[in-house]
Amino acid sequence: MKALVYHGPGKNAWEDVPDPTIVESSDAIVRVDTTTICGTDLHILKGDVPAVQEGRILGHEGVGTITAVGNAVQSLAVGDRVIISCIKSCGHCVNCKTGLYSHCLGDEGASGTGWVFGHLIDGTQAEYVRVPYAENSLHKLPEGVSDEQGVMLSDILPTGFEIGVQYGRVKPGDAVAVIGAGPVGLAAIATAGLYGAGTIIAVDLDENRLEQARLFGATDAVVSGAADWKEQVLALTDGAGVDVAIEAVGIPETFSMALDVVRPGGNVANVGVHGKSVELHLENLWIQNINISMGLVNTNTTPMLLKLVAQHRIPAEKLATHRFSFDQILDAYDTFSRAAETKALKVVISRV
């Protein structure tokens, strides 16, 4: 089969590799019909995720069709259309039983790590993928939900909701600032209303992304390049600061911005993947009673979010802005890496 293979920082290639096979009785083989590129994939190519070894097939998002299942798989069958979750879950370890799938203790890839696709085992930017613990790591795609909608449920929608909205403790009426209106930031904006956020402020350098943010539910938009961006945010909260600041970029500057606009007693939810250390001024922060959270998505909300997408209550399809075939995947990477120029949100890569 063909797959996108990582060959070290800055190097990847669409090339021939062996087809995956059933290894464990709980496995499934999925023909990947649609995949996409995540900001984390760009971090890998920059060398920010050293656990990814040369020769690894990248990608952790996808929708496909099951072509084979192991002997222990009972609730899935060949021919089922499925969402491939970015997080694997054995379903029976102590962490999985509490919903902490991100730290699944099953020994696929590494014990204690749920994110394995395109990280510790071969991923979804390929014509076929082996999915461990298939019954807990795949979600059947109902009729009426397209591949493009479904692929947004592999990672970004549950990530924005769980790590941004839930970890940020959003409550009815809250003022929420989302720093970074990229795909994950837009996912947080689109789901903040589920918990009743009253004011949702999108903050970004890119005016196109701020326009998109309004389509996903932002009530206000602030250009972060403006000299008075902070004053604009505070003015929208009567000077108090936001109840929840969600950092959705992953650089020190945007983390500092989140701290700058959160009110005393508020919450800062870090969603972005950081490749560099961030300075935390505890000498100033300790007295503000701020809660800072972060984490890797568990995807335990995927079934609920899937229902809302099926009911057209979350506009998942609007995240797809550019479309490519599998043999154009390197062009897709180029487009996604230059999102400010190309106005890309999520690039969708599909079989022809």
Q: Confirm if 151 and 62 have CB atoms less than 8 A apart.
A: yes
Predicted pLDDT of residue 352: 80
150 and 52 share one domain: yes
205 and 341 share one domain: no
DSSP helix/strand/coil, 298: coil
Give the C-alpha distances (Å, rounded to integers) separating 106 from 57, 63, 116, 133, 166.
Answer: 21, 23, 11, 9, 25
150 and 178 share one domain: no
Give the total number of structural domains in the chain: 2
118 and 164 share one domain: no
119 and 161 share one domain: no
User: Where residue 116 sits, what CATH number does that domain have?
Assistant: 3.90.180.10
165 and 216 share one domain: yes
Q: Which amino acid is at 348?
A: V
DSSP helix/strand/coil, 273: coil
Q: How many residues does the chain have?
A: 352
Nearest Cα residue to 132 out of 58, 1, 32, 30: 30
289 burial (CB, 10 Å; 0-12 / 13-18 / 19+) is exposed
Q: Which residues contact 140 (CB under 8 A, 6 or more apart)?
A: 76, 80, 81, 82, 83
8 and 149 share one domain: yes
188 and 238 share one domain: yes
Give the C-alpha distances (Å, rounded to integers) separating 58 from 17, 45, 47, 116, 352.
Answer: 13, 10, 13, 10, 20
The answer to pTM > 0.85 is yes
Predicted pLDDT of residue 263: 98
pLDDT tens-digit profile, the chain (352 residues) = 999 999 999 999 999 999 999 999 999 999 999 999 999 999 899 988 899 999 999 999 999 999 999 999 999 999 999 999 999 999 999 999 999 999 999 999 999 999 999 999 999 999 999 999 999 999 999 999 999 999 999 999 999 999 999 999 999 999 999 999 999 999 999 999 999 999 999 999 999 999 999 999 999 999 999 999 999 999 999 999 999 999 999 999 999 999 999 999 999 999 998 888 999 999 999 999 999 999 999 999 999 999 999 999 999 999 999 999 999 999 999 999 999 899 999 999 999 8
Q: Which of 294, 319, 336 is the last residue of a domain?
A: 294
Domain that holds residue 45: 2-155+299-350
Q: Which residues contact 258 (CB under 8 A, 6 or more apart)?
A: 177, 179, 245, 246, 247, 268, 270
Stated as kind and residue range, the H or E segment containing 303 is helix 302-310
208 and 149 share one domain: no
d(CA 180, CA 204): 5
DSSP helix/strand/coil, 267: strand
Residue 352: count of CB within 10 angstroms of its CB: 6
269 and 310 share one domain: no
276 and 320 share one domain: no
Count Cβ neighbours within 10 Å for each residue of 80-101 and write b for 16 or more, e otherwise: bbbbbbbbbbbeebebbeeebb
Task: Please report where in the chains the tokens 């590494």 appear, as a residue.
Answer: 110
161 and 141 share one domain: no
d(CA 63, CA 85): 9
Which structure tokens are listed for 327?
């043999």
Give the C-alpha distances (Å, rounded to integers) separating 86 from 199, 238, 284.
Answer: 30, 40, 37
DSSP helix/strand/coil, 46: helix
Q: Which amino acid is at 149?
A: Q
User: Where residue 208 sits, what CATH number does that domain have?
Assistant: 3.40.50.720
Q: Confirm if 348 and 321 have CB atoms less than 8 A apart.
A: no
